[in-house]
Structure 1
């Protein structure tokens, strides 16, 4: 009976053993799948142009603070904020009654000084005549001459006071020193104005041309100088190709500009240097305070060009895939910039090496890989 039970148990276990053996064979077969066939290309070199962008702030070629030259109450405003004004056009008026009275007083003082001068002259001539007749002493003549000279000085002083009063009266009307656009008013009618006021009345901006200020890193500036033509920075700027301006909206400004100035030293905090580009602004599209980007095209000769589509970005690092001894290899590369659909590569891969062009999204480093035949790649 016991022998019969053992035989019966083997009958039930036999199918399980066969099933386990089949499963193991299937796993071995799956682990021995053929390597993936992926398309490959050869790393090439060529010439490229890179458009580098730099944040820029816009200012008019002249930004003038309008300030009073005298103290008084603001009595009239002839323009409005944002108006375009021409040089010499009245902008503001300070209450001028006190300055008119000062002018009248100075004119009256001049009349009195002139009368005193006439009297002093008559007295001097009379004493000179008496001195010739030996009726007065030499000291009396000299005293008369001194009085006459003092009267002449008083007349000159009065004339100067009149001119000063006229200047102050003219300063009561504040005029535009140049043509441009009026900014925001910092004072209103009735405000007490003084040359010592902390804020100006307003800002007048001449924007027929504008400056775009931007900063360039030390490395970029070094490349800028190397690619320029000339033995000095002035010659390099003179021979530099025009630059473009991209507006904050993303549109390109219609006029090209020229870099015409470089700051004398680098900023120790940021490690950058400020540069300036000038743009014509005939349509007054640009205003002081606008922002944008300066676009400078830099030319690179005989550099490694790598298709952007054949790279993978992982945690701000860029990788490419190559085949090393029949296995996939992931290589980090150093990128100098972009040129069209290609990266300009400065390190990590060399010209002549082969790389996998596509199909590496789920490819793990070390996985078996073979290069796909050219005929298959063309299909």
Structure 2
């Protein structure tokens, strides 16, 4: 059209300039859209991990400021949970002396898995592994803190749960005796054994520890001895009884 003198050079240059300006405005609009998307993204809080959200501290429409000291909520990742517990100094020394390994990390690796007893006294169905020992003893309690990690695939455990850990330890030449079958007198622990004539004999035992509701007995009894499980408060040394055998499953 310029060649045919329908448009002047000035009109062509004006049209090109208008086109370039329009293209620039399009790019500005695209940039504004991208900026708006970024700003909208700031209104969304995306968790970096799976977990459970706690109480929401703000309602929809509440003003939120960076100066707020209170978090919006708390997100708990409960896939793996840490359980903290303490050992006394003597128990910790025994652990270091009796566990194989050249250093603390090797000793931790060689420890058997541990069990978690929940607050309702049930045993958690996953075993844990001790993976951390604190660097110092608590000067007030004389104990040191250890950490065990438990898998939590079903989400049974939550942060703040309480319970007890049960450590496995091997004992040689040791018997389990129900605490219910014992009596204590003058700082000594006794059981009533039953001889061949069905007479009861008060027998002192040496207790070296506990496992659940049982005593660990290292001396005073031998495998195969019969002891009285119930009614020991009514017995006298030398009394003849009519014993009734109990199955292992019926005890405890």
Report the alpha carbon displacement of residue 350 of structure 1 after superposing the two structures with TM: 7.2
Aligned position for 1:338: 210
Native 8 Å contact 2:206 2:220 kept in 1: no
Give 1:215-230 correspondences, 5 Å limit.
215-230=86-101
Give 1:1-379 correspondences, 5 Å limit.
170-302=41-173, 311-314=182-185, 317-320=187-190, 335-338=207-210, 343-344=215-216
What TM-score do you get using the length of structure 1 for normalisation? 0.42
Higher relative strand content? 1
Mapped partners of 1:291, 1:217: distance in 2: 19
CA distance 1:334–1:266, change in 2 (3 Å):
farther
Mapped partners of 1:291, 1:210: distance in 2: 12
Mapped partners of 1:208, 1:309: distance in 2: 39
Native 8 Å contact 1:311 1:318 kept in 2: no
CA distance 1:164–1:264, change in 2 (3 Å):
farther
| SS of residue in 2 equivalent to 1:278 | strand
Q: Quick one: higher RCO (CA 8 Å, sep 6+), 1 or 2?
A: 1
| Offset from partner CA, 1:274-310 (integer Å, 9 cap, x none) | 1111111222222222222211111123458778576
CA distance 1:267–1:201, change in 2 (3 Å):
same
CA distance 1:290–1:370, change in 2 (3 Å):
closer
Alignment RMSD (CA, Å): 4.2
Mapped partners of 1:254, 1:267: distance in 2: 31
- Structure 1's unaligned 5+ residue stretches are 1-110, 112-162, 323-329
- Deviating runs (4+, > 6 A) in structure 1? 163-168, 304-307, 330-334, 349-352, 357-360, 369-372
- Structure 2's unaligned 5+ residue stretches are 1-23, 25-33, 193-201, 244-252
| SS of residue in 1 equivalent to 2:168 | strand
| SS of residue in 2 equivalent to 1:220 | helix
What TM-score do you get using the length of structure 2 for normalisation? 0.60
Mapped partners of 1:280, 1:340: distance in 2: 23
CA distance 1:251–1:194, change in 2 (3 Å):
same
CA distance 1:206–1:302, change in 2 (3 Å):
same
Higher relative helix content? 1
Report the alpha carbon displacement of residue 264 of structure 1 after superposing the two structures with TM: 1.3
Report the alpha carbon displacement of residue 183 of structure 1 after superposing the two structures with TM: 1.0
| Offset from partner CA, 1:303-342 (integer Å, 9 cap, x none) | 5877857642258x443389xxxxxxx9987632135896
Mapped partners of 2:71, 2:101: distance in 1: 43
